[in-house]
A and B are shown apart, each in its own frame.
Chain A
Amino acid sequence: MSRIEKTSEKLTRKFKTNKGLSHFYALFDAIDKFLLTPDSTTIRGSHIRDSVDVKRLMTTVMIALTPSLFFGFWNTGYQHFLSYGIQAAFWKCFGFGFLKWLPIVLVTYISGLAVEVFFAQIRKEEVAEGFFVTGMLIPMILPPEIPLWTVAVATIFATLFAKEVFGGTGYNFLNPALVARAFIFFAFPSVISGDSIWIADKADAFTGATPLADVALGNISSLPSIKDMFLGTIPGCLGETSTLAILIGAALLIVTNVASWRIILSVIIGGLAAGFTFNLIGTTPAMSIPPYYHLLMGGFMFGAVFMATDPVTSPHTNSGKLIYGLLIGILTVVIRVCNKGYAEGMMLSILLMNVFTPLIDYLSIQRNINKRVSRWNSAKSNKNSR
């Protein structure tokens, strides 16, 4: 056995037995598992050996997030300098964005992990890795100028009430990253709405409205070009702006079967269908936006690929996934078009559908059972009548 494994075993024993250190066993175990592999082996029953465990799932998602993340770094800097009228060099923009992101992500991880470790200690369990992705997602769906203390409060709230209270990783009934954002949205609305917060340190004279904010007011003419919205060179949250980067990540997730293509596809179709229906009604300017615009604006694609596909809060049955996705897409567009108070509909519709997930699963399974029962009955009656 390698030196590293020997050391890990020695330390594990020490943490388990030593009176003082045993209080920190959960924390040690989390770091140990993260760096190496879990050391538990199965005892009984038949198992399928698969190389994908929770840790690898999380890692895949992290990798899929990196195109959006890196683009976000660059874009944050680019928008900042643009507001002053400067076209800055690539690395200058990238560095600026990275430095803006760093404090936010640190605060997120520290506050979230504090809650997780606390609960793991109390329950005398081990820290699950679920928070790593959440901690990555939260900074990507918040505006760059968000005050750090609000991030901490929101993350603690989300981890505590949307996750730990219900049992921890795998038991949450709402997407914790979205709960954090929703908390900030309802608790401190002034830091997450309006025009001035979507560009980091922007020059005062520059109006920094995102395309969605424009739609909510009915300013259709000032929307950016499709190319800009697809590439993502528009103001907005770190991870949401570049549809292209998100799609690259989506490809990875679909190929590795970590995210369900059914959900992603049905969200898109739902959104397009609702957008198209509104075009037909067309009474307000917001209704006449071409359907594919909705895909490019705001957090639609980001939500569809990274939030809606969270395996814990989405339905397990295939038909359930399709219904879930469709409803999310439709609801998002409906909220965006019909309600001036909620410019970003994606967050709210995903949260709402999270609540419906058990019901959707139940209905899918019931339908399946009923179909099989009727099949059985008709087979039986066929046999009898022969």
Chain B
Amino acid sequence: MKHYSNRYIFIYVTVLVLIVATVLSIIVNRLKPLQDYNKETEKIQQILSAAGYEGIDRNEVQKLFSEISDELVVDKTGAVISRYNSGTFSEGNIRAFDIDDKTEYLKAINGEDYHLPIFAINNNVFVVPVHGKGLWGPIWGYVAVADDGKTIVGTAFSHDSETPGLGGEISSEKFQSGFKGKKIFDRNNNFVSVKVIKGGVTNSNCDPQYAADAISGATSTSKGVDDMLRTCLELYVPFFNNYLK
């Protein structure tokens, strides 16, 4: 076996690492824009899905989004402090897209000042992000509210580790269709959110306008959705109040 001197080893490893690092940086740099584009597209797809735009071709998604949506940022009083569309700010300077709703939510809990993102589609549907806890892991999604401030147009729920066939059904069409047309404010414009009822709305004595069916056998996840909707939508009440009649 050849015996290599220490100097050789040092130089060898250094050169190797330098070459590898250079190659990697070049590649990562070239690919990053594509990767970011992918992440953005995924988020946009979910937002559009909540508003009812399903199955859009991946290459058309961003174009469609910039055509039909305005990104709004509101403060805790519900006033719009920023409006963005297709690259220009007509008000303010924060993009709703860049806001992490979880961070803002934590700020709200701690009593600090916070901003909320809203995606206005065609200026008549407001899509807001929600997040919460399922049985085994986090659940999150988007809720689309009509411009009367109270009717749900659609939802897009996702989960990480709920049981397929039980909790995992929250992302299914069947479960989510139960939210379409439900209202989050009652006749006296009090915020009631949409409750998720175990055993089915028809078998309970809840007003069906403000309730959806839970998933049979997935009580905890269903309750998680109920909590998620109530706590997150509540933050948007000041904003929606502007649209209630």
Binding site for B on A (CB under 8 A): 188-190, 193-196, 204-205, 207, 216-217, 340-341
Output the nearest chain B residue to A193 by Cβ-Cβ distance. Answer: B217
Q: B166, A190: Cβ atoms under 8 Å? A: yes
Shortest Cβ distance from residue B225 to the other chain A in the assembled complex, whole angstroms: 15
User: Whole-angstrom distance between the alpha carbons of A193 and B163 in the complex?
Assistant: 12
Contact of A341 among B135, B165, B199, B203 (CB under 8 A): B135
Task: State in angstroms the CA–CA spacing of A216 and B203 once bound together.
Answer: 21
Q: Could you tell me if B163 and A189 are in contact, using CB atoms closer than 8 angstroms?
A: yes
Question: With A and B bound together, what is the CA distance between A96 and B135 in angstroms?
Answer: 37
State whether A205 touches B203 (Cβ < 8 A): yes
Cα(A189)–Cα(B219), bound, Å: 13
Q: What is the minimal beta-carbon distance from A54 to any residue of chain B, in angstroms?
A: 40
The verdict on A340 contacting B135 (CB below 8 Å), with A189-B165, A189-B217, A190-B165 known, is yes
Number of interface residues of B (CB under 8 A): 11
Decide yes or no: A341 and B136 within 8 Å by CB, A189-B165, A190-B165 being known contacts.
yes
Known: A194-B216, A217-B219, A341-B220. 9 other contacts (CB 8 A): A189-B165, A189-B166, A190-B217, A194-B217, A195-B216, A196-B216, A204-B203, A340-B135, A341-B136
A187: nearest chain-B partner, CB-CB: B165
Q: Give, as a whole number of angstroms, the nearest-CB distance from B12 to chain A.
A: 49
Q: Are B199 and A195 in contact (CB under 8 A)?
A: yes
In the complex, what distance in Å separates the CA atom of A301 from the CA atom of B203? 34
A195 to B200, CA, bound (A): 12
Q: Give CA–CA (A216, B135) in the complex, Å.
A: 12
| Cβ B199 vs Cβ A207 within 8 A | yes
A340 CA / B135 CA spacing, docked (Å): 8
Residues of the B chain whose Cβ atoms lie less than 8 Å from the Cβ of A341: 135-136, 163, 220
| Inter-chain contacts of B203 with A (CB < 8 A) | 204-205
Interface centre among A189, A216, A340, A341 (most CB of B within 10 A): A341
Q: What chain A residues lie within 8 Å of B163 (beta carbons)? A: 189, 341
- What string of 1s and 0s marks CB contacts (under 8 Å) between B154-194 and chain A? 00000000010110000000000000000000000000000
**Which residues in B have their C-beta under 8 angstroms from that of A207?**
199
**Per-position binary interface string of chain B over residues 119-146, scored 1 when its CB falls under 8 Å from any chain A CB and 0 otherwise:** 0000000000000000110000000000
Chain A residue at minimum C-beta to C-beta distance from B199: A207
Rounded to whole Å, the gap between the CB of A56 and the closest CB of chain B is 42
Residue of B136, B163, B217 most packed against chain A (CB within 10 A): B217
In the bound complex, what is the Cα–Cα distance between A204 and B166 (angstroms)?
20
CA distance A190 to B166 in the complex (A): 7
A41: shortest Cβ distance to chain B, in Å? 55
* Complex Cα spacing A195 to B222, Å: 14
Q: Using Cβ atoms and an 8 Å threshold, which residues of chain B touch A190? A: 165-166, 216-217
Of all chain B residues, which has the CB nearest A216?
B219
0/1 interface trace, chain B 211-224, chain A, CB 8 Å (1 if under): 00000110110000
A189, A196, A204: which has the most chain B beta carbons within 10 Å?
Answer: A189
A340 touching B217, Cβ below 8 Å: no
